[in-house]
Structure 1
């Protein structure tokens, strides 16, 4: 489900041709050219999540075209969303031209002719997701209205999709096959929600997709606010313009409660820092306070209930464990 492409092992004169052929077979056929073909450099990691494919890439600037002839030669068509992380893209599709820079998203429909080019940068890079058209529950004519339109990736649902793509691409080699369909489903839900937001067609999105996207948005809010002692179901509901009852129902459908989720995430962050050599100099009460525990006694009781050890016992245990592993490694390496 995960593979990488690097050109460093090839002679310089062969790199661009090899990369062009590989990209065409990995995603969809494209007519690709480059002003840097003689000194072309590129890397790409591809992650298959069932029907969804995510690829992270860096490469020398290119020009791409998808013509009517190439479309006729293709199999199932996709929506492709590119998160630009480095460089600038000028894109044309569906009668529109747009320029997109780092941090923003760009949608293409591979069933429609397109033209794109990179400008003003020696190396460009981004993360691209390809989703089969039939898996997005919006009419293609509606989706066509946001092709070659700059979709903001630093706010709202666009930020959620951007964060998801970056995180998934960063950890691509850690997922198991069983994770693929779940991550692919999250990606489709986020893409659908983003398109519906820009099209103002929320009523056409399945209820389940709405719920999963809303829950992901709430989880993201909680992660950002764990250090706030005032974080509570009430503040979360207010921040998302929903009733407290609706918030509790949303978590109940996932087999949890809001308070349990907050407590679990706070304790996991505290446990991670207690086990880290980087935070060994910090007093336990400082770590607890950083993650929203203002009363050391409450933190100690919650930690012991969750992990069976007091925070100081857990820290000593982890320090001893690390020391033992280091000694074993040194003995194994001794002549």
Structure 2
């Protein structure tokens, strides 16, 4: 269940003090200076998924500062990604200043000084990750704080789309799903940082490898499902189809090619089993997700140099003749 904190029930005179407590308690110790003579109501709705904290914030004009004094009191380092929905935010950190508008996002690091000015009513969603879980160099992260990301292309688009969806559906996730969601979000963060720092995806992170392994395990458990597709796989892991394909590109292959290879290998083995003669080639193909017998025959021949029936007959012949391997030689 989400945690909801609001100053709406309070008088305008009491809102400033309570809002400071709400902001510092939800995020981290900070100074909060409200810019309205009579502060507007503020509201924060928070969810936790694994190690990821998600907070939807809406309030009136204010300035927020993280100072040396705050860092000394609370030195837990967090990475903060903020998606702006309404209003603009002027952000300062690491010697840079940038303006974030609706549809854009930025990165902040709680271990260093920052300042955020919101001069009008605003709404944004923030995502807090423990800095220790992000396997990137401090220099790389420092180079991208107080930077405007438009979320229109590349890894920035993948991250923005993914986080927006996670925020919408967070209340329905259980603990196990929450851990997977958090891991994928971290992976996308690493991909974004690597892209902006000029490193290729092939130099990517161990988080990407872990995400790919989770996807492969899911596919292997569902190889027999003829409806297995990039969209169903991506939905099961709360990632975009584009990002799913990118994971397989890291290994120099395609998702469709990998699934086809796994299905063919299982069909190849099963065709040589004694009970295969009774089951029939078409039934075996269907068991492993091939809907069309003619398509199965074509891709099998392309992979192994003979038709499924020829493979099966040769295997029986060699087994009957006492072949030591009990299976035909692959061509």
Q: Please tell me the TM-score bracket, short chain as reference.
A: 0.5 to 0.7
Shift, 1:155, TM fit: 1.8
Query: TM-score, normalised on structure 2?
Result: 0.64
Gaps of 5+ in 2: 216-228, 232-243, 265-290, 293-331
How many angstroms apart in 2 are the aligned matches of 1:78 and 1:180?
18
How many angstroms apart in 2 are the aligned matches of 1:222 and 1:64?
42
For 1:112, what is the secondary structure of its paired residue? coil
Query: If each structure's helix is expressed as a fraction of its own residues, which one has the higher value?
Result: 1
- Out of 191, 194, 213, the residue aligned to residue 193 of structure 1 is 191
1:105 aligned partner: 105
**Structure-2 change in CA distance of 1:256 and 1:105 (3 Å):** farther
Shift, 1:153, TM fit: 1.3
2:63 aligned partner: 63
How many angstroms apart in 2 are the aligned matches of 1:89 and 1:4?
23
Q: CA RMSD in A?
A: 3.6
Cα contact 2:90–2:117 (8 A) shared by 1: yes
2:205 aligned partner: 206
How many angstroms apart in 2 are the aligned matches of 1:240 and 1:74?
36
- Out of 135, 138, 141, the residue aligned to residue 136 of structure 2 is 138
- Out of 168, 171, 174, the residue aligned to residue 172 of structure 2 is 174
**Structure-2 change in CA distance of 1:247 and 1:181 (3 Å):** same
Shift, 1:172, TM fit: 2.6
Residue 75 (1) aligns with residue 75 (2): yes
Paired residues for 1:1-335 under 5 Å:
2-36=2-36, 38-119=38-119, 121=120, 123-202=121-200, 204-209=203-208, 212=211, 246-248=253-255, 252=259
How many angstroms apart in 2 are the aligned matches of 1:256 and 1:38?
66
Cα contact 2:248–2:255 (8 A) shared by 1: no
Q: What does the per-residue CA deviation read over 1:40-86, in whole Å, with 9 as the maximum and x for residues that have no partner? A: 22221111112211111111121011111111111311111111111
For 1:103, what is the secondary structure of its paired residue? coil
Cα contact 1:137–1:205 (8 A) shared by 2: no
How many angstroms apart in 2 are the aligned matches of 1:205 and 1:61?
40
Shift, 1:89, TM fit: 1.0
For 1:138, what is the secondary structure of its paired residue? coil
Cα contact 1:78–1:111 (8 A) shared by 2: yes
For 1:166, what is the secondary structure of its paired residue? helix
How many angstroms apart in 2 are the aligned matches of 1:112 and 1:32?
17
How many angstroms apart in 2 are the aligned matches of 1:250 and 1:67?
52
How many angstroms apart in 1 are the aligned matches of 2:263 and 2:35?
55
For 2:35, what is the secondary structure of its paired residue? coil
Aligned length: 241
How many angstroms apart in 2 are the aligned matches of 1:200 and 1:83?
24
For 1:38, what is the secondary structure of its paired residue? coil
Shift, 1:15, TM fit: 2.1
Cα contact 1:106–1:151 (8 A) shared by 2: yes
**Structure-2 change in CA distance of 1:67 and 1:249 (3 Å):** same
Shift, 1:250, TM fit: 7.9
How many angstroms apart in 2 are the aligned matches of 1:246 and 1:130?
33
Greater Rg, structure 1 or structure 2?
A: 2
Cα contact 1:83–1:162 (8 A) shared by 2: yes
Gaps of 5+ in 1: 224-235, 258-300, 303-335
For 1:171, what is the secondary structure of its paired residue? helix
Cα contact 1:83–1:106 (8 A) shared by 2: yes
**Structure-2 change in CA distance of 1:21 and 1:209 (3 Å):** same
Shift, 1:171, TM fit: 2.1
